[in-house]
Amino acid sequence: MTTVDLNADMGESFGPWKMGDDAALLKVVTSANIACGGHAGDADVMAATMRMAHDNGVGIGAHPGFMDLAGFGRNRMALPRGTLQNQIRYQVAASVGMARSVGAEVRHLKLHGALANMASEDEGLARDLYEAALSVAPDLIVMVLAATAQERAVKSLGCKWAGEIFADRAYNDDATLVDRSKPGAVIHDADHAAARMVEMVKAGAIITESGKHIPTRIDTICLHGDTAEAVQIATAVRKGLQDGGVTLAKFSGSV
């Protein structure tokens, strides 16, 4: 029987600014990528989101990105490699510490936004960022954009990893995500998102906008918590997979 994890990016509210319906999402997903205060989130939001995730039996992941609250971490930035590594260490350490404070643990790492996209194109960058995270928390399972440079980086490191595909994003023929500035890059229709995830999981492949099949290991499916339709998409994807005979459960990660 096929088993897959369903994850969502969340914990992205900041002070009085509300982003997403994390409480509802945590009733549907099996893993949560929780912002570490770099691109979004703050200490109170991180603690509250982790507590809710723990109470719902949802796996917790650190979700670091560029330290760019104004741009939500979606602008590509040029920073010294050592600075980027330290920013990853800083955010992962905050995540690990906050999780411990609420009686939970951080299981996995997932890079956010522009930094993740850059790492999906640059194996050396991905490796450097993963090494930085693992220097703080050596047992993390690294969640990677499947079939990209991120996957090559984790394989070269020999650490535990999980391959991820996206329910709400369109794909280029090299398995990278279509740029958000392009029409159709973000998928808002819940039924369409569900149907394409069932198709990809059963095919064991990413299916690009051109129809190309890229065979890959699919351990987890992501949707973005800041998308207005996030809860509807998560619910539809979960139901579609279950109706298709797929079991939903937290990924275990493997080398």
Q: Could you state, in chain order, the average pLDDT of each consecutive group of 10 residues for the chain (255 residues)?
A: 94 94 97 98 98 98 97 97 98 98 98 97 98 98 98 97 97 94 95 97 97 97 92 97 97 91
Integer Cα distance of 164 and 4 in angstroms: 10
Counts for the chain of helices (H) and strands (E), in that order: 8, 10
pTM value surpassing 0.85: yes
Place of tokens 């973005």: 224
Query: In this structure, is the dihedral angle defined by the CA atoms of residues 31, 147, 113 and 189, taken in order, positive or negative?
Result: negative
State the Cα–Cα distance between residues 62 and 34, nearest whole angstrom. 6
User: In the 8-state DSSP scheme, what is residue 237?
Assistant: H
Cα(248)–Cα(219) distance, integer angstroms: 10
